[in-house]
Amino acid sequence: MNTVIKLTSNEDEEQVSAFLLTNETSLLYHSVRYKKLLEKYLKCKSYYYIALNSEDEIVGYLPLMIHFNAIYGNIANSLPFYGSNGSVVLKKNIDDELKQIVTNELFNTALQTIEQNNCVATTFITNPLDSYANDWMKVNFNADFLDSRIGQITHLPENTVIAEDELLKMFDDPRPRNIRKAMKSGVTCYRSNSLEDMQFLYQVHYDNISAINGVPKEESFFKLIPDCFDENDYKIYIAEKDGKKIAALLLFYFNKTVEYYTPAVVEEYRNLQPSSLLIFQAMKDAINMGYKNWNWGGTWLTQSGVYDFKKKWAAVDYPYYYHTKIYNKEILSLSKKILLNNYPNFFVVSFNQLKK
């Protein structure tokens, strides 16, 4: 079967969006709207490819973004920004032979683009829900470095009228206890898309991450969300106590999956467990809206505390990988600080592989 590989344009957006919804493994990160968000925020160049069959139907899709740096060389990611999952999306139920052909052609085209743009390194981050892409990359990509992550996903019940007690039984202690404590403490919650609540989320997120010497997402990122997404694509859940906002949670919705994206809690109210109530309420709403997966995102193998937190929400493990190829080994001689300063929000290589 002959296929044609094409670089996507604005005219293809509707067809691409419809194609992604035909495969339940596609995630927010593959979406056209997330592409626009990254383009605006990262100021990088995107190369998103589609494979078309003889009837001009999309049978495969591969996103790629390149950060251009005149000093140390260019970096390609599929995809950048806090480990966004990329890699290939294939038409559902195509046969194994066509899968292989389409995947080969998409990656060969992407690798040509990477080489033509003189990239010194590239990383493809696979999709935890797509075992085929994970396996194909291991066999065919020949990465110089392979980094593991644990994707954790809670599979939501299909019953749209599930009782609260039934949902609580899915979770391990102390999650049910945490939820009930928040309720008994008078914590209430609501969902919103207001700019005021987005600002509250950002400020508390900034305070939380700064307190542990982490790198918070920038305010400009949060301000771009209403410009790039429709209101149904995201929700901010807010917890209140006696009329005061004490916690927030940003979620994205795409295809059949809810993305647990940014939690935030005012430190002095953490012991009331408002975040647990927000998650519980958001899960109930997601079930009623017909979503199947709650994606907690990736966890490093060393993050036992984070892993256990997610696991107690009935999360199932889905390993996935960062496949990194180095084209110029001089990049390994740079320091962590130089990489972070010159390639913000792009993955270059695991810092433990650097010579410095």
The tens digit of pLDDT for each residue in 228-284 reads: 999 999 999 999 999 999 999 999 999 999 999 999 999 999 999 999 999 999 999
Residue 1, pLDDT score: 61
**pLDDT above 90 as % of the chain:** 89
Mean pLDDT of the chain: 94
Residue 56 Rama label (left phi>0; alpha psi -120 to 50; beta): left
Whether residue 118 sits in one domain with residue 92: yes
Gyration radius (Cα) of the chain, Å? 21
Whether residue 83 sits in one domain with residue 15: yes
**For the whole model, what pTM was predicted?**
0.94
Alpha carbons 50 and 3: distance in angstroms, whole number: 10
Q: Which residues contact 164 (CB under 8 A, 6 or more apart)?
A: 284
Whether residue 142 sits in one domain with residue 8: yes
Q: What average pLDDT does range 133-158 have in this prediction?
A: 93
Residue at 296 is within a domain? no
Whether residue 208 sits in one domain with residue 118: no
Residue 165, pLDDT score: 79
Domain final residue pick, 250, 272, 291: 291
What are the pLDDT digits (tens) for 29-51? 999 999 999 999 999 999 999 99
**Residue 83 confidence (pLDDT) above 90:** no
Q: Residue 160: pLDDT band by 50, 70, 90 thresholds?
A: low
Whether residue 166 sits in one domain with residue 140: no
Residue at 310 is within a domain? no
Q: Give the tokens for residue 9.
A: 């344009």
Least confident of 80-94, 147-161, 190-204: 147-161
Residue 163, pLDDT score: 67
| CB-count exposure of residue 343 (10 Å: 0-12, 13-18, 19+) | buried
Residue 161, pLDDT score: 66
Instruction: Give the domain range for residue 236.
Output: 157-291
Residue at 298 is within a domain? no
The total of structural domains in the chain comes to 2
Whether residue 263 sits in one domain with residue 234: yes
What are the pLDDT digits (tens) for 298-321? 998 788 899 999 999 999 999 999
- CATH number of the domain bearing residue 245: 3.40.630.30
Residue at 297 is within a domain? no
Whether residue 279 sits in one domain with residue 164: yes
Relative orientation angle of helices 175-184 and 274-288, to the nearest 10 degrees:
100
Whether residue 136 sits in one domain with residue 12: yes
Helices (H), 241-349: 274-288, 304-311, 336-342
